[in-house]
Structure 1
Amino acid sequence: MDSTVENARTLKTTFPLTPQSTLGALLAIVRNPLDALPPSIFTEPFVFSKTAGELKVYLADPTLIHEALVKNAEALGKGDQVRRALGPALGQGLLTADGAHWKWQRQSVAGAFRHDKLLELQPTMIAAAERTRDRWMGIGSGTVGVGHEMMRTTFDIIVETMMSGGHGIDVARVEKGISDFLKPTGWTFALGLLRAPEWIPYPGRGKAEAAVEFLRSSLLSVIEERRVRPNDRHDLVNMLLSASDPETGRTMNDEEIVDNLMTFITAGHETTALGLAWAFDLLARHPEVETKVLVEIDAATGGEPVDAKHVSKLVYTRQVFSEAMRLYPPAPIITRTALRDFQLGDYLIPAGTVLIVPIYAVHHHASLWSDPEVFNPDRFSPEAAKTRHRYAYMPFGAGPRVCIGNAFAVMEAVAILAVLLQKIRLAAVNPHPAKPIMKVTLRPDRSQRMNLVLR
């Protein structure tokens, strides 16, 4: 007999519900899902609420997060809201699939993210950063939108490393397409909560559907080109083309390959770009931290241009990026749906419950971080990291479904920061930082314009 069933009589099956207005929650979700978080989740270990008849449990306690996402991973699925919001673009790729289909896809691409493979990609990362640096130096003392610039840089890297150049993909249209797709996701979450029919129109739906069509057709052309003119590059496209399920022997069809390329392009470049944009903004507002970064870059490089052998030496620079992602986690919320009853702490969580790990709240939680709103890269020193619970910091998620590209993203970000900061200082145009809003990812509520100052 299942141990959960055996213990059911001793577990709590009634929940201390936090009042939450359904209408208020829906309006907040449409505007900015972060505003729909119960305020108490920033100070309490967990919160239960019920919205539109649906039981939700919000988790901020690292021990409970580990218990849910790791120990009970098999009891949780992505859920209908994730499918409604991301399925049209990502299909059944690595981010959205469940069960055996997720597992064999994950195994198929894992080799691309081994440490030795990532080291081989460092020169490509540095070269992309140098192209951005040279473009900025050509502008001189002008102003740039740092978010757009980081999107362009990280997209350059993902296309070169994962698709061997991408066969002329229109970078500007891809960036706009991703934004058009993500912009109305608050509506899809809200309508999903109401269990509304999926055909219901909402603001931005037409643009989002057109964006998905463009993005998927662009990637399909890459696959078709590769099938006609195969090569021996060890990139993601070839890995997906040759991947097979070890149990059934089945291979991916073109639509499934598109699902995964879409996943890596959207999740693999946009999240890193957002983390970098927030990092540059934070550095501009904390010159004492920027000075420490510059001293480290100079010590590591000896004044020479940044190259692959320097990146691993930039420990403090990596701490800066980590702290930026604590304050502004690019993926600010994890949601799961209970596929069956399971035990969580002292409670028996019933099937159908929506489990929410509000990473943004965990990263700002008063019991987990001292002065949580303060930008302090020293939180991520090697010594400090030893005393922190593993699940108090989760910019890449947690458990078996932790982001497969986390090491890629950090290596890429440190290389970009070093190459650009060595020659250029960015100064914030607006005296006040942008407000973070959630459109699946954590975006600023306005363009982050910054002035370029050559060093």
Structure 2
Amino acid sequence: MAEAAVMTDSLETLRRERVLPSSILARTRVADALKSRLHLRESAAHRRCIHPDSLGVKRFSAPAQEMDALDTFITPELPCVSFQWTNGPLQSPGEHGALCSHPEQAEGEDPMKENSSTYGKRVRTGSRTPPLAPGHLPGVGHLPALLRDPIGFMSRLSTGPDLVTLRLGPRTMYVVNSLELLHSMLTTRAEEFTQGVVFQKAQKVLGQGIIVSDGALHRTQRKLVQPALRRVQTEKYTEAMVAAAEAFAESRVEHQPFDVVFEMHGVGLDILCTALYGGGLSVETADQVKRATPDVMTGIVAQALYPARWMEKVPIPVNRRFDSALPRLKNAVEEIITRHRARADDAGPTGLQMLMDATDPETGRPMSDSQLQDEVINLIVAGTEAVGTMLAWFFHEIAVNPDIQQRMVTEIDEVIGDGPLTVENLGRLRFTRAVLNETLRRHTPTWLLTRKATEESELGDHLIPKDGEVVFSLTVLHRDPDLFDQPMRFDPDRWLDGRTADLPKHAFIPFVVGKRKCLGDHFAQHAMLVAAVVMVRRWRLVHAEGGGRDVRERALALVIPAGLTMYPEKQSR
């Protein structure tokens, strides 16, 4: 199966690169084989915690297909409390619920019945230590399971307790699965949590920019950067955004296939540079940024997940690409700043000029050259990767849902016709905006975000130790069937027919929430809308082969549509 192939490829890669010993690889295969043969007896008297490494599995003889989705949460203090999942497709996590078997359950009570008192409920164990997630192996912890299928693994965790413990080698992390706990951590108790390990590793690239800085520096930089990205200011960039998007649309050749992810990152970069910096980059520099940014961001996530810091120095491909890409990205940023300063008088009131002119309201000082460079890198990395990735998913979805694309074409023709794109008529594209909103929900790219406890903190019934790393996934959150009806279905109408009107507060947070909310949310959404409308007016993108069936999620720094190659055809009306 595809999932098994991904697992094998990931583990084999680690073994070849001398990161994961072949003995662990063999043990993982044996564990998976054993787990597929596990059988949970229906009698409550025989229920017990089962681990794939257990040697006592011979007495279970059910067919593998009956239990191939079984996993167990192990609570150290209460070894007889377990959480199991029922069978169900991985790409639709949570639809079958989570079953919590408790030793105090009455004899003969069927836990699979929906009217069971424990079905779908999280039972308080009394332990202050979050239960250990399933799939733990000696020496490497959950690393093989995470590498095998990152999003699937995080999705399975989300059907269990509100907070679980994750082990990556010797490192311990805590995964938040509860919307209530996540909201509390990001807002009302945000001062108890600082940026986590992903952001710490990102400082190698982003310096002390607004994405990774914290404390007083972050508050200061937020005041300096925010004016260039406010909604009112973003709308002033519309003409520049349209020019950049139309330049890309005009460069397409009918029936000529192209790598959609790569080219959409280029569109995001061109829009960003044209709008914020007053002009596009040279072809060579733009190509450097487009090729360097994914390698840099993937390297950051890889280093955040390494079990040991020394692994950052091992010359495996992901580290070599990171070390090569970083100086190329920084050189490109230096060129942007240098070129802008050389023609500052002709560039007009650009976003970059606003950053150069901004002063600290308390000290009256402008940004230093190094801080300015950090902020430009932050804007490029965030704007290029996020906007490009979401546009790629957008074009994939409307290609596999032609009725949705046709409704967009009709709406654009009725609202805009052959006229120019303006803030006013873009704002009237209700259905098109709903399609983009659904893309943000269904394909939220941030599958792994982290926070770090500044002191011992209580989340729910559990304690997070000081310096404890907390992990959460917005990709998984936005696919929660308790929040969104048929979450794996791409359905823009859910944003128009009232189904999302009663969502809990902060149930949909593609740009996070709280003091760390992305400052560029308005810019990113406006840029996506402009690029989408410009392209759809002219072209209908078609999958080059397989009708899009071979496109799959690949969790790197962001979740990208791997294997997405398309070609343009003239838009039909």
Give the aligned residue type for 2:325: A
Match of 2:525 in 1: 410
What whole-Å deviation, never above 9, does each CA across 1:216-240 have from its counterpart, x for those lacking one?
A: 1221233344456543733232233
Within the candidate set 448, 461, 471, 1:356 is matched to 471
2:424 corresponds, among 277, 299, 309, to 309
Aligned equivalent of 2:376, options 243, 246, 261: 261
Aligned-residue sequence identity (percent) comes to: 26
Q: Distance in 1 between matches of 2:417 and 2:568?
A: 27
Match of 1:163 in 2: 277
Q: Does 1:216 align with 2:330?
A: yes
SS in 2 for 1:142: coil
Matched, 1:102 2:218: yes
Per the alignment, residue 441 of structure 1 pairs with 558
Where 1:384 maps in the other structure, the secondary structure is: coil
Question: Against the structure 1 CA distance between its residues 190 and 215, is the aligned structure 2 distance closer, same or farther, given a 3 Å change threshold?
Answer: same
What pairs up with 1:5-404 in 2 under 5 angstroms?
Answer: 13-21=128-136, 23=140, 25-29=142-146, 33-34=150-151, 36-37=153-154, 39-42=156-159, 45-84=162-201, 86-136=202-252, 139-165=253-279, 168=282, 170-191=285-306, 193-196=307-310, 198-227=312-341, 230-231=344-345, 233-381=348-496, 383-404=498-519
The 3 A distance-change label for structure 1 pair 63 and 80 is closer
SS of equivalent residue, structure 2 residue 455: coil
8 Å CA contact 1:185–1:439 kept in 2: the answer is no
**Deviation, structure 1 residue 31:** 6.4
Q: Is the 8 A contact 2:444 2:474 kept in 1?
A: yes
Deviation (angstroms), 1:259: 1.2
| Structure 1: runs of 5+ lacking an equivalent | 1-10
After the TM superposition, which of the residue ranges 338-347 and 151-160 deviates more from structure 2?
Answer: 338-347
Q: Which AA in structure 2 matches 1:146? A: V
Alignment match, 2:7: none
Q: Deviations over 1:259-296 (max 9, x none)?
A: 11111111112211110110111111111211221221
Q: Distance in 2 between matches of 1:198 and 1:132?
A: 37
Change (3 A) 1:127 1:81: closer
**How many angstroms does 1:303 deviate by?**
4.5
Q: Which amino acid aligns with 1:424?
A: W
Measured in 1, the distance between the counterparts of 2:400 and 2:564 equals 16
Q: Could you tell me which amino acid in structure 1 is paired with residue 164 of structure 2?
A: V
Q: Relative to 1, partners in 2 of residues 1:298 and 1:454: Cα closer, same or farther, differing over 3 Å?
A: closer
Distance 1:239 1:438 in 2: 35
C-alpha deviation, 1:186, in angstroms: 4.9
Q: Aligned AA for 2:498?
A: E
Identify, as 1 or 2, the structure richer in helix: 1
Taking a change above 3 Å as real, the CA distance of residues 374 and 331 of structure 1, as seen in their structure-2 partners, is same
Superposition deviation, residue 113 in structure 1: 1.8
Task: Give the length in aligned residue pairs.
Answer: 441
Residue in structure 2 matched with residue 426 of structure 1 by the alignment = 541
Q: Which amino acid aligns with 1:116?
A: V
1:342·1:349 contact (CA, 8 Å) conserved in 2? Answer: yes
Structure 2, gaps ≥5 residues long? 1-125
**Counterpart amino acid of 2:204?**
P
Provide closer, same or farther for how the CA distance between residues 274 and 88 of structure 1 changes in structure 2, counting only shifts above 3 A: same
Question: Aligned partner of 2:322: which letter?
Answer: A
Q: Deviations over 1:180-223 (max 9, x none)?
A: 323444531232x3343654433232332221111112212333
Q: Is the 8 A contact 1:281 1:433 kept in 2?
A: no
Equivalent position amino acid for 1:215 in 2: L
Q: Check whether the contact 2:142–2:167 (CA below 8 A) recurs between aligned residues.
A: no
Displacement after TM superposition at 1:130 (Å): 1.6
Q: Which piece of structure 1 moves more, 221-230 or 339-348? A: 221-230
2:519 counterpart SS class? coil
Larger radius of gyration: 2
Distance 2:198 2:254 in 1: 46
Task: State the 1:168 CA deviation.
Answer: 3.4
**More divergent stretch after superposition (239-248 vs 108-117):** 239-248
8 A Cα contact 2:392 2:561, kept in partner: no
Report deviation, 1:166.
5.3
What's the TM-score, normalizing by structure 2? 0.71
Deviations 1:58-111 (A, max 9, x none): 223222211010011111111234322x22211111111111111111110111
Structure 1 stretch displaced more, 402-411 or 165-174:
165-174
1:341-364: CA deviation from partner (whole Å, max 9, x where unpaired): 223223332212211121111111
Task: Give the root-mean-square deviation of aligned CA atoms.
Answer: 2.5
CA distance in 2: counterparts of 1:287 and 1:225, whole angstroms: 43
Residue aligned with 1:181, SS:
helix
Q: Distance in 2 between matches of 1:194 and 1:366?
A: 36
**In the aligned structure 2, how far is the partner of 1:386 from the partner of 1:451?**
36
Q: In structure 1, what residue type is equivalent to 2:565?
A: Q
Task: Give 1:116 shift.
Answer: 1.8
For residues 278 and 167 of structure 1, the distance between their equivalents in structure 2, rounded to whole angstroms, comes to 25
Which residue type is aligned with residue 518 of structure 2?
C
- Larger displacement relative to structure 2 (139-148 or 124-133): 139-148
Alpha-carbon distance in structure 1 between the residues aligned to 2:210 and 2:497 = 31
C-alpha change, 1:413 and 1:167, in structure 2 (3 Å) is: closer
- Return the offset for 1:114: 2.1
Instruction: Quote the residue 1:4 is aligned against.
Output: none
- Higher relative contact order (CA closer than 8 Å, sequence separation 6+): 1
Amino acid at match of 1:133: A
Shift of 1:335: 0.8
Aligned-partner Cα distance in 1 for 2:341–2:413? 46
State the SS of the aligned residue for 1:374: coil
The CA distance in 1 between the partners of 2:336 and 2:406, in whole Å, is: 43
Relative distance call for 1:236 and 1:12 in structure 2 (3 A) is: farther
Q: What is the rounded CA distance, in whole Å, between the counterparts of 1:302 and 1:179 in structure 2?
A: 37
Measured in 2, the distance between the counterparts of 1:228 and 1:377 equals 46
